Amino acid sequence: MTDDVVLVEHASRSYGAVVALDDVSLGVPAGQLLGLLGPNGAGKSTLLQLLAGLRRPSSGSVRVLGGDPRSAAARARLGMTPQETGLPPTLRVGEVVGFVADHFPDPEPAAELLSRFGLTGLERRQTGGLSGGQKRRLAVALAFVGRPRLVLLDEPTTGLDVESRQALWAAVRSFHADGGTVVLTSHYLEEVEALAERVVVIDRGSVLIDGSLDEVRSRVGVRRVRYTLDGRQVEHLTPDADAFVRALVRDDVRFEGLEVAGTSLEEAFLSLTERVEAAA
């Protein structure tokens, strides 16, 4: 036995002829903040659905908090967000929070939770009348109602303004600082860079890369070379910056203000999935 909060072993899942997940193994120790990246249709959502007990793996096993996520008891310390569009529009904010809280033995008081997510004073509003940012914050707040030990966040800040996003990040960080485990998917690589300690890149149902932020960047090893040529800003991404600069000098390119820098995760990630596509 390990003390992994999430333990996925050789899990595969197919829908008819389509293989969404192909022999994925993944362990997440207690207290880790894991970012799950991949293009749309890569298998992120399927993996999250397996962890939440919404779907069964076609083969392999998935254990969450020491139990099968398909059993209700194993989900007692699991928190998840509904998609923002999924809140029942006719129910009031206070009712939604109360209803979700009813499912947990020791829920966080609604007033405390709402104030933590900047929703104080909205208890009597129907969720259909909230702004996009408020809906999103409410959806994420619901993941924390039951005082979870593991939280699954699927695209938590998609479509949010900067302020709401910062507020959500702060809430996730403080949960993590108190020892909580987080698995987060995001379109925003910036978000994964800001929050995650470990990054798993999934594409076409398989784990491409699994490592720390730095490892992912260095394993992709892409550098950005930037300079000005005839008054125009030029930028190149290259796996070998040294050779690139030597070539510039050899070819007597009249560059000015040469800059060589590491890449953002986004660029690393793009170059990674492109490389796989080129190889395929």
Partner 1 sequence: MSQLTTVPGARLMLRHARYQFLETVRVPIAVIGTALFPALSMLFFVVPSADLAADPVVSTGATAQLAVFSVMSVCLFTYGVGVSEDRALPWDAYLRTLPAGPGPRLGGRLLNGLAFAVIGLLPLVAIAVFLTAATITPARLGLALAALLAAALPFLGIGMAIGYSMPAKASLAVAQVLLFPLAFAGGLFLPPETFPDWLDTLSTWLPSRAGRELVVGAATGSTVGVLPVVVLAGWAALAAGLAVWAYRCDEGRRFR
Q: Which residues bind partner 1 (CB under 8 A)?
A: 15-16, 18, 52-56, 65-68, 71-78, 80-83, 85-88, 90-91, 95, 99-100, 102-105, 126, 142, 146
Q: Which is nearer to partner 1, 16 or 179 (CB)?
A: 16
User: Both tokens of residue 156?
Assistant: 């938590």
Q: Which is nearer to partner 1, 101 or 213 (CB)?
A: 101
**Rounded-to-integer distance, Cα 130 and Cα 92, Å:** 10
Q: Which is nearer to partner 1, 155 or 203 (CB)?
A: 155
Q: Which is nearer to partner 1, 38 or 265 (CB)?
A: 38
Question: Taking the alpha carbons of 272, 274, 279, 280 in that order, is the dihedral positive or negative?
Answer: positive
Report, in Å, the least distance between residue 280 CB and partner 1.
23
- Interacting residues of 232 by C-beta distance below 8 A, sequence separation 6+: none
Report, in Å, the least distance between residue 31 CB and partner 1.
15
Report, in Å, the least distance between residue 29 CB and partner 1.
14
- In this structure, the strands spanning 223-229 and 206-212 are unpaired
Report, in Å, the least distance between residue 235 CB and partner 1.
39
Q: Which is nearer to partner 1, 98 or 221 (CB)?
A: 98
> Please, what's the b/e burial string for 38-51 (b: 16 or more CB within 10 A of its CB; e: otherwise)?
bbeebbbbbbbbbb
- Interacting residues of 6 by C-beta distance below 8 A, sequence separation 6+: 26, 27, 28, 51, 63, 64, 150, 181, 183
Q: Which is nearer to partner 1, 61 or 83 (CB)?
A: 83
User: Both tokens of residue 241?
Assistant: 């910056």
Report, in Å, the least distance between residue 40 CB and partner 1.
13
Q: Which is nearer to partner 1, 63 or 176 (CB)?
A: 63
Report, in Å, the least distance between residue 257 CB and partner 1.
49
DSSP three-state, residue 223: strand
- In this structure, the strands spanning 181-185 and 33-37 are parallel
Cβ neighbour number for residue 118 with a 10 Å cutoff: 18
Cβ neighbour number for residue 151 with a 10 Å cutoff: 24
Report, in Å, the least distance between residue 76 CB and partner 1.
4
Q: Which is nearer to partner 1, 22 or 68 (CB)?
A: 68
Report, in Å, the least distance between residue 264 CB and partner 1.
31
**Rounded-to-integer distance, Cα 72 and Cα 70, Å:** 6
Instruction: Tell me which long-range contacts 211-218 makes (C-beta under 8 A, separation of at least 24).
Output: 213/265, 216/265, 216/268, 216/269, 217/262, 217/263, 217/265, 217/268
